[in-house]
Amino acid sequence: MPTLGRGAKRYEIVSRNAPNKRPDLATEQGRAKLGETVDERAAVFENKVARNLGVAPSRVPAMGGHGGLVVGSAAMKSGLVRRLGSLEGLIANLSKGGGSVAAPVRQKVASLNGAAEKARIAGIMALAAPGTGYDAHINAAIAEGLSVDATALRLFPITYAHSASVSGAAAATLKQPAARHEEFFTGAIWKNRRPKR
C-alpha cells in the first residue's frame, strides 16, 4: 500500500449493513471475525482432501502437519499423497491419455450415500455442457464411479487435444490477406499528391 503524504488522511467506508466486510484487526472482536473466516476456508479444504483421499475430515490436519508443510516421502508416509511425481510428469501423463492418473481419487458409487451420490453426479455433469462432444466421457465417468476431480483429470487431455485440433482446422481455413498494392500505402499516396516543381 502506498504511503500517504504529509497531512494526508486515509478513510475506509464500509456499509453499516456489512461491518464484517472490513473487521478492525486492532480489536479482539475483529481478529476473532477474521479467524472464523480462515477456519471456514480450512474446513472446505479439509473436506475436499478427505473426500479425495477417502478419510475422515478430522484426520486431515494431522496428515498435513497441522498447517505445516509436509512434502515428498513424508507426505506419502502420512497418507496425504498416494504417489510422488512432478507437475511435468503429470502433464506428460495426461497428454498421453494416461487414465491411470484418475485411479487414486476414484470413488465407487456403492460407497456414497444418496445425497453425496447426487452431488457427485451433478459435479461431473457440470464439467461439460450436454451436446458438446463429451457426453460419452461424462456418462462413462458416472458409471465407473469416478469422483468429480478424477473426471476432470480424465477430461483434461481430451479437451486439450480437441482444442488443438479445432485451432489447427481454423488456421487451415483462414484466408491470407490480399496483397496490398503500392498505391494504397500512405507514402505512395502522398508522393503522388505532391506538387511537381
For residue 110, what pLDDT is reported? 46
Q: What is the pLDDT of residues 122-150, one digit of tens each?
A: 888 888 877 777 888 888 888 888 888 88
Residue among 123, 149, 125, 120 nearest 137 (CA):
125
Residue 194 CA from chain centroid, whole number: 60
For residue 41, what pLDDT is reported? 92
**Confidence label for 108 from pLDDT (cuts 50, 70 and 90):** very low
Residue among 193, 152, 149, 178 nearest 52 (CA):
149
For residue 107, what pLDDT is reported? 45
Q: Give 157-164's long-range contacts (Cβ < 8 A, gap of 24+).
A: 157/94, 157/95, 157/96, 157/97, 157/98, 158/97, 158/134, 159/134, 160/94, 160/95, 162/133
To the question of pTM greater than 0.85 for the whole model, the response is no
SS3 content of the chain, % helix, strand, coil (to 5): 60, 0, 40
Residue pair 127/138 in contact (Cβ under 8 Å)? The answer is: yes
Q: What is the pLDDT of residues 156-183, one digit of tens each?
A: 777 766 666 655 655 656 655 555 555 4
**Confidence label for 109 from pLDDT (cuts 50, 70 and 90):** very low
Q: What is the pLDDT of residues 24-54, one digit of tens each?
A: 889 999 999 999 999 999 999 999 888 888 8
Q: Using the structure block, give the residue that is written with the C-alpha cell 466421457.
A: 137
**Confidence label for 115 from pLDDT (cuts 50, 70 and 90):** confident
For residue 101, what pLDDT is reported? 46
- Sorted by sequence, the CB contacts under 8 Å of residue 11 that are 6+ apart come out as none
